[in-house]
Chain A
């Protein structure tokens, strides 16, 4: 259970958001509505001005108690819009990076399972520089999963891809939701993607929550 109650001023823009999320929740809203700033706060990359963020029983941020857990201790997997694979490491090393940094024991079974799930076995020896956009995103998803996160943040993971690549990755995300038990926060402005992946929706516009509930919120937005 993720619960967020934060405020942040970014120049002229102000973000003031409260929501709780379980299982697979979509943050839905047009570009510039503050979704990415919000996930950056959950990941610990951006510091809210005020508020509180907690995950399960742990407080990650609380301005009143001066708690601010740094990103490397949050154990939150983050798939960025542009993949952000480490360019100087091979795909295999990118996948193992989170395990090394968190001091996790080797877990060959899980690794093989995820490599197979995402169909990236043939890429392991390659470097990120010569992967296609779709391959890069699949590796980024695998990398975030292999650190055994408590929560997975996906920030428009398909936005940098063309239509064909999106259709290629969507089924992987659906399988991932069904086969791993990691709760997901999925950020998107595409109702179609959200319909496939999320069970709950939080609608955000201009830095404010304008609705929270089930997938029916999407119909209100599109119809």
Chain B
């Protein structure tokens, strides 16, 4: 019963790849947006804040549909990325990663923003008097001190990406070997007769992956907190 079929392995691999790529690719944007929201005053800040949080509140199928009509092969953004960046999103695993990244973005930004807000400005002032320009202050003081929050944000993003279903299936469908993740594979298996055993196997796998991710992140965050407290 615990023997996984090649199709199931494929779904697991796609899920992990989608979640990892979604997390890694959105991290720089997450840090930049979190920093801007935590530290800068700018016109339209409330609107940016709301826009970032929108995927948290919208039904996932709405986000998925909006992605479909803006990043499809005939849609403006989709055509732009295909022509100038060489990435096609529609009905590809990359599209699943995009959908997951957008759905998880609010969680990532929130965690990182909180850790930026918790940093004592006086430490940044001190490093400026020691000769560090704004970029160096950010790289050597702000970012290392925010590391626990950055790790928390990455874990939340990864976890959300692993579990994402609605927006992904709406945007890139459920194609075995390309866009079928663990979540959409389980969904398919529950729709066919005799799929229960296979569904249960994938359910166990997703529990194991989620659990492992949480344990590792807890350990990493602990270490980072200790470091930033200077003990």
Task: Using CB atoms and an 8 Å cutoff, list the residues of chain A in contact with chain B.
Answer: 43-45, 70-78, 80, 82, 84-88, 97-98, 101-102, 127-130, 143-144, 147
Question: Nearest Cβ in chain B — how far from A87, in angstroms?
Answer: 3
Quick check: B129 and A72 within 8 Å, CB to CB? Answer: yes
Task: With both chains docked as a complex, state the minimum distance between the C-beta of A220 and any C-beta of chain B, in angstroms.
Answer: 33
Stretch in B1-9, B119-127, B166-174, B177-185 with 4+ CB within 8 Å of A? B119-127
Contacts of A84 on B, CB cut-off 8 Å? Answer: 122-123, 125-126
Query: Contact between B131 and A101 (Cβ–Cβ < 8 Å)?
Result: yes
Point out the residues of chain A lying under 8 angstroms from B123, CB to CB: 84, 86-87
A85 and B131 CA atoms in complex are apart in Å by: 14
Task: Report A-chain residues with C-beta under 8 Å of the C-beta of B133.
Answer: 70, 72, 101
| Contact A147 B130, beta carbon cutoff 8 Å | yes
Cβ contact within 8 Å between B127 and A129 = no
In contact, B128 and A72 (Cβ under 8 angstroms): yes
In the docked arrangement, what's the CA distance between A76 and B126, Å?
Answer: 11
Which residues of B (121-154) have their CB < 8 Å from a CB of A? Answer: 122-123, 125-134, 136-137, 140-141, 144-145
Partner of B129, one of A78, A86, A88, A130: A78
> Does chain A have a CB within 8 A of B227?
yes
In the complex, are the beta carbons of A129 and B231 less than 8 A apart?
yes
The 5 closest A-B pairs by CB, nearest first: A129-B230, A87-B230, A101-B131, A84-B126, A102-B131
- 26 A–B contacts from the bound complex (CB under 8 Å): A44-B128, A45-B125, A45-B129, A71-B125, A71-B128, A72-B134, A74-B129, A76-B129, A80-B126, A84-B122, A84-B125, A85-B230, A86-B123, A86-B126, A86-B127, A86-B141, A87-B230, A88-B227, A101-B132, A101-B133, A101-B140, A127-B231, A129-B231, A130-B230, A130-B231, A144-B129
Known: A86-B123, A88-B144, A88-B145. Is A77-B129 also a contact (CB below 8 A)? Answer: yes
Contact B230 A127 (CB under 8 A): yes
Total A-B pairs, Cβ < 8 A: 79
Give the distance to chain A from B231, nearest Cβ to Cβ, in Å.
Answer: 4
Asked if B83 is at the interface of the complex by the 8 Å CB criterion, the answer is no
Interface residues contributed by chain B, number (CB under 8 Å): 23
Docked CA distance A106–B226 (Å): 30
> Which of B127, B137, B229 lies at the interface centre, i.e. has the most chain A CB atoms within 10 A of its CB?
B127
Asked whether B188 is an interface residue with its Cβ less than 8 Å from the other chain, the reply is: no
B229 — nearest CB in chain A belongs to which residue?
Answer: A129
CB of B228, distance to nearest CB on chain A (Å):
5
Instruction: Give the shortest distance, in Å, between B119 (CB) and chain A (any CB).
Output: 10
Q: Is the CB of A98 within 8 A of B131?
A: yes
Given the complex of chains A and B, what is the CA–CA distance between A70 and B228 in angstroms?
Answer: 27
A76 and B128 alpha carbons, distance in the complex (Å): 10
Residues on the A chain within 8 Å of B141, using CB: 86
A147 to B138, CA, bound (A): 19
Q: A88-B145, A147-B131 are in contact. Are A101 and B136 (CB under 8 A)?
A: yes
Contacts of B134 in A (CB 8 A): 72
Chain A hits for B128, CB < 8 A: 44-45, 70-72
Shortest distance from the beta carbon of A146 to any chain B beta carbon, whole Å: 9
How far apart are A27's CB and chain B's nearest CB, in angstroms? 17
| Bound-state Cα–Cα, A85 to B145, Å | 13
Q: Would A80 and B230 count as touching, CB distance under 8 A?
A: no
Q: A84-B123, A87-B145, A88-B144 are in contact. Are A128 and B129 (CB under 8 A)?
A: no
Nearest-neighbour CB distance to chain B for A63, whole angstroms, equals 21
Q: B178: shortest Cβ distance to chain A, in Å? A: 43
Q: Closest chain A residue to B122 by CB distance?
A: A84
Q: How many angstroms between the C-alpha atoms of A72 and B141 in the bound complex? A: 14
Nearest residue in A to B129 (C-beta to C-beta)?
A78
